[in-house]
């Protein structure tokens, strides 16, 4: 009976600690979700932790094909509302194939890191993959315009 | 005046022009030879110029210099702990360190991120050692700026200095030790450490 009480107390303490840890973990959203090289993306960090003195984003761009990483950027995030920090970043390198970021929080207990070196693959298409011309041959519209103008010209000549 | 006399007269007039042309050609040849000689002298003067030097902090906080390694080929590796290609580069540098006499080759891995500490570097090295890849060459942090060796700021950047301290070769991006180490699908630069070191160490 004693052991059951002790084990249930221990279990509840462990669960309580886990819940608190999860609750303290910030969440990050990146818009657009499929960024491309040299695009502008917005990082939004939502915190449940209070007494945050500041939030910083560390970001580095790399080219995995050449095995190169470019210098890290350390950028201060703006508090949009209590507990929500945001930053827009424009990627700098046209040949970057991925980026890595880390969220750093300045707390009364010191610096805390989250999402350490989280890797995001950069899409190598047009405008972060939002192009409407993916399924069409390039220049298709121009060919149509030229054909239409030729036909109209021929029709006009016939009338004359 | 007959045509023959006229031609004789005009032939005498042509002689000075031909002489001028000859002298002009000789002068041009002499100038070319002189220019070649000056170039040769210039290049030999470069070889006699003092080698490059810079200072760095080793992991004990002591100051080291590139010039401390005169007489050896020095491989300068500019890196940071957060750089994934730099982490892989360490394995390739380890192959270079194992394949050459320490009397002939030295590797300086200098961390160029001012926000990283000596302890960060030590922890990095310890991690490799734990996985069975001891990194036994010289590590340190920047003291003098190494910006002039960083091409476009990308890392890893490797510089090879000859035994007199002259910059012999530099490259930005992951560099494999030998041709055999290059993965089949590698699309990056295929220059290897071995070929560059072998050009200096005979």
Show the domains of chain A with their CATH numbers: 26-131 (2.60.40.10)
Rg of the Cα atoms in chain B: 28
Do the Cβ atoms of A44 and A86 come closer than 8 Å?
Answer: yes
Instruction: Tell me which DSSP letter residue B179 carries.
Output: G
pLDDT, tens digit, for every residue of B103-160? Answer: 999 999 999 999 999 999 999 999 999 999 999 999 999 999 999 999 778 999 999 9
Report the interhelical angle of B193-200 vs B84-99 (nearest 10°).
40
Please state whether beta strands B138-142 and B157-161 pair in parallel, antiparallel, or not at all (unpaired).
Answer: unpaired
Contacts of A71 in chain B (CB under 8 A): 153, 155
> What pLDDT does residue A6 have?
77
To the nearest whole Å, the CA of B168 is away from the closest chain A CA by 21
Residue A103 — pLDDT band, cuts 50, 70, 90? very high
Do the Cβ atoms of A59 and A72 come closer than 8 Å?
Answer: yes
Do the Cβ atoms of A52 and A105 come closer than 8 Å?
Answer: yes
Block means of pLDDT (10 residues each) for chain B, length 202 residues?
Answer: 51 67 86 75 63 96 97 97 96 97 96 95 97 96 94 91 97 97 93 97 84
Chains A and B form CB pairs within 8 A to the count of: 51
Q: Is A119 helix (H, G, I), strand (E, B) or coil?
A: strand
């Amino acid at each position: 009976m004693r052991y059951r009480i002790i084990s249930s107390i221990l279990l509840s303490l462990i669960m309580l600690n886990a819940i608190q840890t999860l609750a303290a973990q910030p969440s990050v959203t990146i818009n657009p979700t499929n960024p491309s090289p040299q695009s502008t993306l917005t990082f939004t960090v939502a915190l449940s932790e209070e007494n945050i003195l500041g939030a910083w984003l560390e970001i580095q761009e790399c080219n995995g094909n050449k095995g190169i990483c470019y210098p890290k950027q350390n950028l201060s995030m703006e508090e949009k509302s209590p507990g929500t920090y945001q930053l827009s970043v424009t990627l700098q390198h046209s040949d970057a194939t991925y980026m890595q970021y880390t969220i750093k929080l300045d707390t009364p207990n010191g610096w805390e890191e989250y999402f350490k070196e989280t890797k995001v693959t950069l899409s190598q298409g047009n405008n972060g993959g939002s192009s409407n011309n993916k399924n069409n041959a390039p220049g298709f519209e121009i060919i149509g315009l030229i054909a239409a103008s030729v036909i109209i010209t021929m029709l006009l000549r016939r009338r004359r | 005046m007959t045509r023959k006399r006229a031609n004789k007269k005009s032939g005498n007039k042509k002689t000075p022009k031909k002489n001028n042309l000859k002298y002009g050609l000789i002068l041009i040849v002499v100038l070319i030879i002189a220019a070649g000689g000056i170039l040769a002298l210039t290049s030999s003067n470069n070889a006699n110029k003092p080698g490059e030097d810079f200072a760095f902090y080793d992991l004990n906080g002591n100051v080291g210099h590139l010039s401390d390694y005169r007489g050896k080929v020095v491989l300068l590796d500019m890196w940071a702990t957060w750089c994934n290609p730099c982490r892989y580069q360490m394995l390739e540098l380890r192959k270079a360190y194992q394949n050459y006499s320490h009397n002939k080759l030295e590797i300086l891995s200098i961390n160029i991120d001012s926000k990283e500490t000596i302890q960060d570097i030590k922890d990095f090295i310890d991690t490799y050692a734990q996985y069975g890849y001891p990194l036994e060459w010289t590590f340190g942090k920047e003291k003098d700026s190494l910006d002039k060796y960083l091409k476009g700021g990308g890392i890893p950047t490797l510089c090879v200095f000859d035994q007199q301290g002259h910059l012999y070769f530099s490259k930005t991006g992951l560099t494999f030790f030998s041709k055999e180490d290059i993965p089949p699908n590698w699309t990056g630069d295929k220059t290897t450490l071995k070929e560059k070191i072998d050009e200096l160490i005979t």
